[in-house]
DNA sequence: AATCACGTCAACCGCGAATAT
DNA sequence: GATATTCGCGGTTGACGTGAT
């Protein structure tokens, strides 16, 4: 006996959401808070299934989402977390609060995978492009291959912006009126952003309010939805100066370092508060089984982390060294930093 | 100018886990 | 404890845009 569908297929609308639908959904969630998705379609009159509503909210309408180009730091985080956790996009997204798992997944599949392949072929022509491991990656890779397809991203961003601009403004108004976003008890705040005009000159208000802790100022200061502001990073220059795909000695060293990093559990360097795990890790630096256990531990941690995500956004938990680094986007000299970290650590 | 191929990404689907009854 | 319901995740699809021919 199969599981019944989440919603009646008859009369359910599919496909892209219209601004009107977005407004209805946002309006409802503002009043009732996210959750109880089952009741959303019936209460709002939206001809969408509950899953679709939830997805639309979590991936696009939820305040605090940053869209548009991924920064080099974000790329690095994704690459390393993917190497560590595998395709646990939700877990990875928990380290990038402004990015959705769907966004990260898409970015990985469309951009980073290719970069890795390209890089691997440059690094070692004998390695088959689709060799299973994706851990042989480094910031150097990012730096050398960065932004080779910026124009496409820019195009996509502006397209998105054009379709959701209204929602963006709508959300801005909401954020101003209800600082405790995503609070399921915020129903007392009945201020309707829909009925309020959101001045365009306050576009930075959406996610800045929530994630001030881990944002650097070099990052996009534009809205959670894409804006016309696009970035031009220095790596582009480096790319040109460095002669395209060729990598320098320094970068090569960095690559090797990251290989080491990925061959051992990150727990070894991060779980100072977990003696047993750390000990086990230290005692078996080359033991893959042990590594798996450690990775599992981290994955479990992520699961727990996800569950408390809603509450986490207002109270930052203690961060491990790794997490601190991951979330510290001001680490402009990340490559050097990581190399130093690994040099200092006997584990590496 | 028309057509084709490719890239991107929003959205859907199916499954498993979590929670409620 | 068993069953039903809901939620969340990851894989995949398909529409759309862009560039090449």
Quickly list DSSP for A113-169: HHHHHHHHHHH-TTS-TT-S------HHHHHHHTTTTHHHHHHHHHHHHHHHHHHHH
The reply to whether A142 Cβ lies less than 7 angstroms from strand B is no
| Rounded CA–C1' distance between A302 and C5, in angstroms | 25
Chain B positions with a protein C-beta closer than 7 Å: 7-16, 18-19
Give the integer Cα–Cα distance in Å for A29 and A21: 12
* pLDDT at res. A30: 85
| Rounded CA–C1' distance between A166 and B18, in angstroms | 36
Q: Minimal CA–CA distance to A168: which of A46, A63, A313?
A: A63
Nucleotide nearest to A91 (CA to C1'): C9
Give the integer Cα–Cα distance in Å for A330 and A339: 16
Nucleotide nearest to A56 (CA to C1'): B11
* pLDDT at res. A336: 39
Give the integer Cα–Cα distance in Å for A284 and A150: 42
What are the pLDDT tens digits along chain A (348 aa)?
333 445 556 678 888 898 888 899 888 888 888 878 888 888 888 888 888 998 899 888 888 888 778 888 888 888 888 888 888 888 898 888 788 889 999 999 888 887 777 777 666 665 444 443 333 333 333 333 333 333 333 333 333 333 344 445 454 544 444 433 333 333 333 333 333 333 333 333 333 333 333 333 333 333 333 333 323 333 333 333 333 333 333 443 343 333 333 333 333 333 333 333 333 333 333 333 333 334 434 444 444 344 434 333 333 344 454 455 554 544 434 433 433 443 333 333
* pLDDT at res. A325: 52
DSSP string, A19-79: HHHHHHHHHHHHHH-S--TTHHHHHH--SS-HHHHHHHIIIIISTT---SPPPHHHHHHHH
Residues 226-285 of A with CB under 7 A from strand C: none
The reply to whether A88 Cβ lies less than 7 angstroms from strand C is yes
The reply to whether A113 Cβ lies less than 7 angstroms from strand B is no
Per the CB < 8 A criterion, the answer to whether A285 and A260 are in contact is no
Nucleotide nearest to A40 (CA to C1'): C6
Residues 6+ apart with CB under 8 A from A21: A46, A48, A56
Per the CB < 8 A criterion, the answer to whether A36 and A184 are in contact is no
* pLDDT at res. A7: 53
* pLDDT at res. A10: 67
Give the integer Cα–Cα distance in Å for A50 and A29: 13
Please, is A41 exposed, middle or buried when counting C-beta atoms within 10 Å of its C-beta (0-12, 13-18, 19+)? buried
Residues 6+ apart with CB under 8 A from A312: A305
The reply to whether A33 Cβ lies less than 7 angstroms from strand C is no
Per the CB < 8 A criterion, the answer to whether A247 and A136 are in contact is no
| Rounded CA–C1' distance between A51 and B18, in angstroms | 16
* pLDDT at res. A124: 67
3-class DSSP state of A199? coil
Nucleotide nearest to A154 (CA to C1'): B8
Nucleotide nearest to A59 (CA to C1'): B10
Chain C positions with a protein C-beta closer than 7 Å: 5-12, 15, 17-19
The reply to whether A6 Cβ lies less than 7 angstroms from strand C is yes
* pLDDT at res. A119: 73
Give the integer Cα–Cα distance in Å for A269 and A261: 10
| Rounded CA–C1' distance between A27 and C2, in angstroms | 39
């Amino acid at each position: 006996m199969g599981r019944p569908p989440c919603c009646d297929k008859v009369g359910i609308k599919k496909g892209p959401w219209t601004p009107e639908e977005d407004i209805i959904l946002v309006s409802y969630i503002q009043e009732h808070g996210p959750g109880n998705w089952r009741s959303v379609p019936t209460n709002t009159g939206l001809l969408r299934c509950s899953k679709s509503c939830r997805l639309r909210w979590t991936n696009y309408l939820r305040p605090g989402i940053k869209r548009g180009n991924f920064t080099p730091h974000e790329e690095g985080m994704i690459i390393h977390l993917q190497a560590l956790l595998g395709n646990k996009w939700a877990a990875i997204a928990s380290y990038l609060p402004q990015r959705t798992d769907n966004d990260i997944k898409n970015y990985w599949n469309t951009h980073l995978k290719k970069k890795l392949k390209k890089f691997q072929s440059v690094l070692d022509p004998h390695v088959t492009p689709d060799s299973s491991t994706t851990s042989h990656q480094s910031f150097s890779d990012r730096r050398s291959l960065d932004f080779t397809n910026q124009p496409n991203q820019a195009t996509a961003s502006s397209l998105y912006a054009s379709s959701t601009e209204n929602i963006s403004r709508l959300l801005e108004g909401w954020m101003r009126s209800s600082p405790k976003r995503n609070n399921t008890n915020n129903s007392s705040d009945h201020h309707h952003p829909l009925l309020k005009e959101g001045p365009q000159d306050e576009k930075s208000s959406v996610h800045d309010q929530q994630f001030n802790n881990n944002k650097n100022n070099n990052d996009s200061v534009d809205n959670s939805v894409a804006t016309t502001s696009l970035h031009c990073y220095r790596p582009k220059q480096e790319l040109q100066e460095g002669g395209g795909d060729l990598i320098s000695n320094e970068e090569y060293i960095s690559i090797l370092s990251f290989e080491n990093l990925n061959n051992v559990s990150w727990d070894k360097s991060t779980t100072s508060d977990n003696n047993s795990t750390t000990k086990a890790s230290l005692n078996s630096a080359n033991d893959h089984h042990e590594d798996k256990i450690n990775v599992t531990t981290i994955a479990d941690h992520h699961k727990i982390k996800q569950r408390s995500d809603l509450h986490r956004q207002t109270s930052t938990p203690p961060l491990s060294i790794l997490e601190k680094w991951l979330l510290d986007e001001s680490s402009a000299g990340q490559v050097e930093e990581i190399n130093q970290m690994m040099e200092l650590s006997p584990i590496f």
